[in-house]
Amino acid sequence: MTALKTSFFMLLVPGLLLGVLPAWLMATDTALFSLGLFRWLAVPLWLIGAAVMLWCAWDFTVKGRGTPAPIDPPRELVISGLYRYVRNPMYDGALLVLFGHVLWFPSLALIVCPIIFFVSFHLFVVLYEERTLRKKFGAAYEAYCRSVPRWLPRVRSPRR
- Type of residue at 15: G
Nearby residues of 97 by Cβ (< 8 Å), 6 or more positions away: 14, 18, 45, 46, 49, 50, 53
Q: Give the pLDDT of residue 156.
A: 75
**How many CB atoms are closer than 10 A to CB 86?**
18
pTM of structure: 0.92
Q: Give the pLDDT of residue 159.
A: 61
Q: Give the containing element (helix H, strand E) for 57.
A: helix 42-62
Please write the tens of the pLDDT for every residue from 96-129. 999 999 999 999 999 999 999 999 999 999 999 9
pLDDT at residue 27 tops 80: yes
Please write the tens of the pLDDT for every residue from 36-84. 999 999 999 999 999 999 999 999 999 999 999 999 999 999 999 999 9
